[in-house]
A and B are shown apart, each in its own frame.
Chain A
Amino acid sequence: MATTTATITLASTDLLSDELALTTSATLTQAGTATGITQAAGLSRKTTTATADVTLFTAADYADNKADKVYIKVTNTEAARYVGIKLGSATVGRLYAGDWALIPWDGTANFIYAPGSTDEITVEYMMFHEG
Chain B
Amino acid sequence: MATTATFTLTSADIAGDPVNVSKTATCTKAGATTDLDQTTGLNRVHLRSTTNKVLLAANAEGNDLSAKVYIINKATDPTLYLTVTINAQTIGKLYAGDWMFIPWSQTDTSADIEVAATNWTASTGDIPVEYALFHEDTDFLTNA
State the A residues within 8 Å of B (CB): 2-16, 20, 22, 24, 26-29, 31-34, 36-40, 42-43, 65-69, 71, 73, 79-80, 82, 84-85, 87-96, 98-106, 108-109, 126, 128
Contacts and interface: CB of A to CB of B under 8 A. Distances in A.
A8 B25 CA distance: 11
B14 A128 contact: yes
Contacts of A109: 89-90
Given A42-B19, A82-B30, A90-B88, 9 more contacts: A8-B8, A11-B6, A28-B98, A31-B93, A79-B31, A94-B64, A100-B25, A103-B91, A104-B93
B57 interface: no
In the complex, which of the residues A14, A29, A43, A101 has the most CB atoms of chain B within 10 Å of its own CB atom? A101
Contacts of A13: 2
B102 A90 contact: no
A39 B13 CA distance: 10
In the complex, which of the residues A12, A38, A95, A106 has the most CB atoms of chain B within 10 Å of its own CB atom? A12
A6 B7 contact: yes
Interface in B89-144: 89-95, 97-105, 107, 111, 132, 134
Q: Chain B interface mostly helix, strand, loop or mixed?
A: strand
A32 B90 CA distance: 18
Contact of B3 (A11, A31, A66, A80): A11
A31 B5 CA distance: 26
B103 A94 contact: yes
B69 to A, nearest CB: 8
25 contacts: A6-B8, A7-B9, A9-B5, A12-B4, A15-B36, A15-B134, A16-B41, A29-B95, A34-B78, A67-B81, A71-B7, A73-B23, A73-B25, A88-B89, A94-B103, A94-B105, A100-B23, A101-B100, A101-B101, A101-B103, A102-B100, A103-B92, A104-B93, A108-B90, A109-B90
